[in-house]
Amino acid sequence: MENEAGALSRVAGLFSARGYNIMSLTVAPTEDPTLSRMTLVTVGSDSVVEQITKQLNKLIDVVKVLDLSDGDHIECELMLVKVSALGKNRKEIKATTDIFCGRIVDTTDTSYIIELTGTCSKLDAFIDAMGHSTILETVRTGASGIGRGERALEVK
């Protein structure tokens, strides 16, 4: 979409006005600074998703809409988790983090901050593995997605 002030709120406003769900939303400028790219995760029946696509297309600031789940795609989310890390737990947390290919990016005597990227379900699984009692704080970016292969979402 156009990298204009207010473009994001047009999208967010559309979802709340029409009663659609936003599971997550990420947005940032692209290699072309006049354009922003947004990845939005939503749920709904086929007809609801069709309506969402059409309604988004109607927004003047929206240049192009693509349903990534129509084809093969890659999605990725970044999560930072602050966990309580004490005694023998510290080793265990490190081991679990390694299994998930995460990194410990900050440490104190009693805590770690772990950085983890991957699909939303992988991040969910990590949270489960860690256990809610260990986790002090999480922050997730929401998924970013891109289609596989040569086909690209281009703007002429």
Partner 1 sequence: MSAEDLTGAEITIRCLQEEGVKHIFGYPGGAVLFIYDELFKQDKVKHILVRHEQAAIHAADGYARSSKKPGVALVTSGPGVTNAITGIATAYMDSIPMVIISGQVPTHAIGLDAFQEVDTVGITRPCVKHNFLVKDITELAATIKKAFYICSTGRPGPVLVDIPKDISAEKFKFSYPASVSMRSYDPINKDHPEQLKKAIRLIMGSKRPMVYTGGGVILGNATSQLTRFVQMLDFPCTNTLMGLGGYPATDKQFVGMLGMHGTYEANMAMQNCDVLIAVGARFDDRVIGNPKHFSNKDRKIIHIDIDPSSISKRVSVDVPIIGGVSNVLDGLIKLLMASKEKPKQEALKSWWAQIDQWRARDCLKYDRKSTIIKPQMVIEKLYEVTKGEAFITSDVGQHQMWAAQFYKFDKPKRWINSGGLGTMGFGLPSAMGVQIANPKNVVACVTGEASIQMCIQELSTCKQYNLPLKIINLNNRYMGMVRQWQEFFHGNRYAESYVDALPDFVKLAESYGHVGIKIENPNDIEDALKEAFKLKDKLVFMDFITDQTENVFPMIPGGKGLSEMILI
Would you tell me which residues interact with partner 1 (CB under 8 A)?
A: 1-2, 5-6, 9-10, 13, 17, 47, 50-51, 54-55, 57-58, 60-63, 155-156
Residue 145 C-beta: closest distance to partner 1, Å: 20
Task: Report residue 29 as tokens.
Answer: 């400028």
Residues 103, 114 contacting (CB under 8 angstroms)? yes
Residue 60 or 74 having the CB closest to partner 1: 60
Residue 47 C-beta: closest distance to partner 1, Å: 7
**C-alpha span between 105 and 101 (Å, rounded):** 13
Residue 6 or 87 having the CB closest to partner 1: 6
Residue 6 or 149 having the CB closest to partner 1: 6
Residue 54 C-beta: closest distance to partner 1, Å: 4
For 22-32, b/e burial (b = at least 16 CB within 10 A) is eeebbbeeeee
**10 Cβ partners below 8 Å, 6+ apart?**
59, 61, 62
Residue 48 C-beta: closest distance to partner 1, Å: 10
**C-alpha span between 12 and 26 (Å, rounded):** 11
